[in-house]
Amino acid sequence: MAVTRLTQPECEALLAELPAWRLREDGLAIERTLRFADFNTAFGFMTRVAIEAEKSDHHPEWFNVYNRVEITLTTHDADGLSARDGKLARFIETAAAAASAG
Ligand SMILES: C[C@H](O)[C@H](O)[C@H]1CNC2=NC(N)=NC(=O)C2=N1
């Protein structure tokens, strides 16, 4: 399904709102690394995000080793960033804070 890509100003606004996220070099994704107290906390966070991803039909690209989770958000159907990435990033920030990640 076609999804509208964010404009340049919208991308900049999103990054300003989410200071812990970085724009990927190619400008097509935002990235964030999170560290939790331990693996169980990290995986519990990932479980919460996975449930939200399935509910919103918008899924992260992520890597986990022990207490570290590296997340990349992009919208494949838009070949870049869309509002869905912003929405999921905001959810991730809330879930990370609840798991007291840094
Ligand atoms: C068929 C299904 O609705 C689509 O493939 C969804 C699934 N999850 C998705 N996740 C992300 N990150 N981008 C998409 O374009 C996307 N599309």
- List pocket residues of ligand 1, CB cut-off 6 Å: 57-59, 74-77
Give the distance (Å) from ligand 1 centre to CA of residue 25. Answer: 22
Query: For a pocket test of ligand 1, which of 30, 49, 57 has the largest count of ligand atoms closer than 8 A to its C-beta?
Result: 57
pTM of the predicted model as reported, rounded to 2 decimal places: 0.96
Q: Is the pLDDT of residue 2 over 80?
A: no
Q: Per residue in 46-60, pLDDT tens?
A: 999 999 999 999 999
- Give the integer Cα–Cα distance in Å for 75 and 63: 17
- Phi/psi region, residue 66 (left: phi>0; alpha: psi -120 to 50; beta: rest), is left
- Point out the ligand 1 atom lying closest to the alpha carbon of residue 77: 15
Query: Which residue, by CA, sits nearest to atom 3 of ligand 1?
Result: 57
Q: Tell me: the pLDDT tens digits for 72-84?
A: 999 999 999 999 9
